Structure 1
């Protein structure tokens, strides 16, 4: 068993590790951060650098380094927008390909031997889902060229107990929320962003919080590490730079009240599943006292969900989460997207085209997958290999080229969906397949600029008409809708996948479709 995880990875031909570096106005530090990643002595890793709309020349430094090293991929948000650390790290994860991922801020550093250490842990403990190492904190005066370590007792984080050990959920709770020296509950903290290496499927299951300006990493890792099999290492393998503009300082400002409330409401109780109730309450109060002055009284409970809708007043006028339920978990509609692609994973083979990024193709593609092209209308997508507007394609777009095209939740943003479908059919090989998902009953994007490009909703008669007009025969189309009153309402309310049960998803009611899926085969 000790080699099964690594053997499975080797069969994919993909990197074992993805180092994801995020950057916003870190020109003074970003090259040092990137070089610490590239200097790792390991033969299977990639480095993804995502720029969050830097305005200080950081992007020029990143592009220059990417042009010199094939391991390094550089991407930035469309129109060089600043979307925040949560959205930026989430994008980095989605475009990465490694079996395990680790994050690094654009001013922090990995220490030598990090990837070798983590692979050795994986080989010994294939059941572990995350590896946590220690972190050294330091100040640095760039002008003077000097580096100052913090005082010894603060120089390395102090989550206890710091022994090489594979932890279960309850043990991890104690490590973060129990002071062994004093023999009483106390909030010890959570690992720094650069200290954690996580298996890809676990990382993908936990979305980054996008509404917090700082310290979103604590919310993220609080949930990622709530899995059985977290390995704590006594070795110090990352360095965290303390700067006046960094999250370490910002998270101590009053503006992060929303963050602390979120962490308290969502994670403290979840962390302690199976723990002693008395211990949990004591740790909870210790956590609250540590944050005195930042939290309103009394300590908030998780947002209650309404009981049976006995009156119109029971229906909320605002969603529980305005961003697709991401502050609570995974978006509800993606449950059906994943099931649809999993059901037709055998079609994702040969030469594949995916719109936006290659996340689904890499995740669900078969061993027969040869190549994945990424299509985007946005020239700033550094991952895109094909820049084109499906509604008005360039003449050199390859006809009859792709064995499979994956296009999820995109057609609603096209001004002319019929023209887009005709283009998709034209570039599909005879016998090839288009796997397409579209919103049916849906809210529009919460981002104002994206609302201007949300044109359509799609139902079975809609897509049947469009695909047949584009040249597909009725026998070549497999069209379904997914959803029911409860699931679709939960999506509109801003709830997440985790707020529902598997039984909720199993009921399909065509009267309340959340998404429509299409498998279209191009005739030979």
Structure 2
């Protein structure tokens, strides 16, 4: 379906919000690059990710990367709109992708009716855990606003292409954690015509980390979005559709919640999200009663029921209130998900939202950011120099062992680099590197030599850690403690100029070894400090 030549200059802005989905992001970006329609721009809005989202974006030089503090999906989309230059806008989630004719197909429809505020089409639903695909195509010929009052027939946001002028009148509601797309569809279709077709436009990836898997939250927000329209209903037909919509959402998500709870029962889980049970009790008493009476066998083969489950939940809640977590009796520990000899991730948690140790490393560098100034040397790359030094950095140098690295200003092993002049740097950033250097004492001696008087050496080293399972594994030689780092630093720096600190506790250390990601641990637990479980050791030393 080739476009007329004069239409080829209509710019399409593809906005990709991303929060800790770096492992999917390259696929999403590439799906735009292979489009049959070539006149587009790609804008990545990094919503405060703690994984390597920025690194992935850097591998696509034509992508416009925009960072913001974590503010939610609606805010990320609004930020993308502010940076978009196209006459048409598409919002692609970082874990989904476009089919190759998506832009060409939708822009043709919009050109056929310039009055239309947006066009939407069909999609493929890809269920990643089982590697299965379903085709979602619906024939909708009724009044679109009334049909949306009953249900969100559009289903997938990436199938929608908007006219840019729409966002001079509307924006995504930042108070909505879920269903913000459903909200804007209702706002637009109440006032403007749209186009809907069944051609396949995109692929919606379903996986364990989808926001839409929170069925209780989805129900609450779907009903809230629907309630926003109550004041706008003009006639009996719209009011009837509104009532049908309330019934549809409560029935649909109650069944989802029930099925999820039953799945947990038969998987041997003995505790549940209280919100799920409250939702079932509030919206579907029949399913709630059915769940309560559902017997099952736990992992020990013992018969249990809902009452016992509730008692277990109450005991845990009571223990939290008293701040006295109970220690299980001997042979009564429930290992749960940790009852395995292989980790959840072999990538330090990069594929589960970002590594736990990076939280400590970056907090340390943030605390000493005032020392990252003047001429700064960093090992490997200069990302931390730029992030924490900012405008205070006059010159940024990079030492790398590989001469093919184009970013490096010096090549060599830190333990033996006589070509780097002495007394040269105001600051050296040396994170997670000392463990890879065989003669680490010589590396510290080098740092002392090349620092200016009054210059600061900032170091982090691993304490409790897995060994890297990629190419770096063969260079992984050491782990350290606060005592070993204190003694090492005192061989070169005055004791009064050395500050050694440890980070971690038994929970975080265990989670890190299993490969859990930063979003999977409560911040309060991450910040808890127990010097007997040193995940990371940091050092600040002044020459």
Say if 1:158 and 1:188, in contact at 8 Å, map to a contact too: no
How far off its partner does 1:274 sit? Answer: 5.3
Quote the residue 2:82 is aligned against: 118
| Cα distance between partner residues in 1 of 2:385 and 2:541 | 17
Q: Secondary structure at the match of 2:479?
A: coil
What residue in structure 1 maps to residue 496 of structure 2? 475
1:91 maps to 55
Identify the residue that residue 229 of structure 2 maps to in structure 1. Answer: none
- In the alignment, the residues of structure 1 paired with residue 362 and residue 267 of structure 2 have an alpha-carbon distance, to the nearest angstrom, of 28
> CA 1:120/1:152 → structure 2, altered by over 3 Å: closer, same or farther?
closer
Structure 1 match to 2:398: 374
Q: Which one has the largest radius of gyration?
A: 2
* 1:336 to 2:364 alignment: no
The question of 1:261 aligning with 2:283 is answered no
Return closer, same or farther for 1:378/1:492 CA change in 2, 3 Å cut-off: same
RMSD: 5.8
Partners of 2:541 and 2:476 lie apart in 1 by 23
The match for 1:65 is: none
Distance (whole Å) between structure 2 residues aligned to residue 391 and residue 33 of structure 1: 53
The number of residue pairs the alignment matches comes to: 365
* Inter-partner Cα distance in structure 1 for 2:106 and 2:38: 23
After TM superposition, give the deviation of residue 336 of structure 1 in Å: 1.2
Partner of 1:279: 249
Say yes or no: does 1:392 pair with 2:354. no
Q: Cα–Cα, structure 1 residues 405 and 375, in superposed 2: closer, same or farther, change >3 Å?
A: same
Q: Distance in 1 between matches of 2:367 and 2:539?
A: 12
Q: Gapped runs of 5+ residues in structure 2? A: 1-15, 45-49, 69-77, 112-117, 123-143, 163-175, 189-198, 224-247, 272-315, 317-326
Which structure 2 residues correspond to residues 342-421 of structure 1 after superposition, within 5 A? 342-365=366-389, 367-393=391-417, 395-421=418-444
Q: Which of residues 146, 150, 156 in structure 2 aligns to 1:189?
A: 156
Q: Summarize the alignment of residues 60-459 of structure 1 with structure 2, pairs less than 5 Å apart.
A: 90-93=54-57, 100=66, 118-119=82-83, 132=91, 139=101, 149=105, 158=120, 181-182=147-148, 183-185=150-152, 188-191=155-158, 260-264=206-210, 268-269=214-215, 272=218, 275=221, 279=249, 282=252, 311=331, 314=335, 315-316=338-339, 317-365=341-389, 367-393=391-417, 395-447=418-470, 449-459=471-481
Q: Are 2:36 and 2:101, in contact at CA under 8 Å, matched by a contact in 1? A: no
SS where residue 207 of structure 2 aligns? helix
More helix per residue: 1 or 2?
2
Cα 1:133–1:190 change in 2 (3 A) is closer
C-alpha contact 2:364 2:538 (8 A) present in aligned 1? yes
The 1:90/1:298 distance shift into structure 2, 3 A limit, reads farther
Distance 2:160 2:442 in 1: 45
- The answer as to whether partners of 1:186 and 1:283 remain within 8 angstroms in 2 is no
- CA distance change for structure 1 residues 334 and 131 in 2, over 3 Å: closer, same or farther? farther
TM-score (norm 1): 0.53
* Preserved contact between residue 427 and residue 458 of structure 2 (Cα < 8 Å): yes
The Cα of 1:192 is off from its aligned counterpart by: 8.4
Q: Secondary structure at the match of 1:430?
A: strand
1:32 Cα offset (Å): 11
Counterparts of 1:427 and 1:91, CA distance in 2: 29
**Are 1:485 and 2:513 counterparts?**
no
TM-score, normalised with respect to structure 2: 0.52
1:495 Cα deviation (Å)? 2.3
Distance in 2 of aligned mates of 1:476 and 1:193: 59
Question: 1:251-290, CA deviations, whole angstroms, 9 ceiling, x for partnerless residues?
Answer: 68xxxxxx63324588545973953688387269799x9x
Contact preservation (8 Å) 1:345, 1:366: no
Q: Is the 8 A contact 2:179 2:218 kept in 1?
A: no
Higher relative contact order (CA 8 A, sep 6+): 1
Taking structure 1 as reference, are residues 118 and 264 closer, same or farther at Cα in structure 2, changes over 3 Å only? closer
